[in-house]
Amino acid sequence: MNPKELRELIEFLVEKDIAEFEMERGDLKLHVKRGAAPTPMMQAAQPVAHAVPVAPMAAPMTSPPVAAAAQPSQAAAPSASASAVSSDPANLHILKSPMVGTFYEASAPGAPPFIAVGDTVKEGQVLCIIEAMKLMNEIEADASGVIEKILVSNGAPVEYGMPLFSIRKS
């Protein structure tokens, strides 16, 4: 990819207000993310044998800065859930998200939540919904017990394997 093509791509991303873009073409991998802290240079990952330094591009600063990186950014996990998981006693079960999506505590806006802290649940009981690609997936308890803590807030994005609930086994 030559500098002119790269500049046109960045201008297109800014024009269409695209926050993040990833592309692979042969051995070239490009990850562009807007709105991040400004970086002094554009970087493109290429094999060492063909590595070519990419000079900084002078672009008008009429829009948020554009930064390219070879590795995707990692989402930070909430510290509250991390501390809750690390101090688990033996009879405390952590239910983790089976998928990436959006966490909902109720079946519809304004509807009562499926469960609350202190509720007794049985294995197979619906605890929440995770929306993924416009599909509403009911998440069921995989252990019976009492809900000790809800580790995710309503409407929050969740990752695969992210702790959702702590259940004190009965």
Concatenated DSSP letters of the chain: --HHHHHHHHHHHHHTT--EEEEEETTEEEEEEESSPP-SS---B--GGG----PPP----SS--EEEESS---PPPPHHHHHHHHT--TTEEEEE-SSSEEEESBSSTTSPBS--TT-EE-TT-EEEEEEETTEEEEEE-SS-EEEEEE-S-TT-EE-TT-EEEEEEE-
For 30-86, how does the pLDDT look when each residue is reduced to its tens digit (9 = 90+)? 777 776 544 444 444 444 444 444 444 444 444 444 444 444 444 444 444 444 444
The residues that bridge with 130 in the sheet, in sequence order, are: 103, 137
Residues 34, 64, single domain; the answer is: yes
pTM: 0.48
Please give the average per-residue pLDDT across 147-169, as a whole number: 95
Query: How many structural domains comprise the chain?
Result: 2
pLDDT exceeds cutoff 70 at 98: yes
Residues 107, 163, single domain; the answer is: yes
Residues 33, 95, single domain; the answer is: no
CATH code of residue 115: 2.40.50.100
The whole domain housing 104 covers 79-169
Last residue of a domain, one of 23, 43, 69: 69
Last residue of a domain, one of 69, 89, 122: 69
pLDDT at 89: 65
pLDDT at 170: 79
Last residue of a domain, one of 20, 41, 69: 69
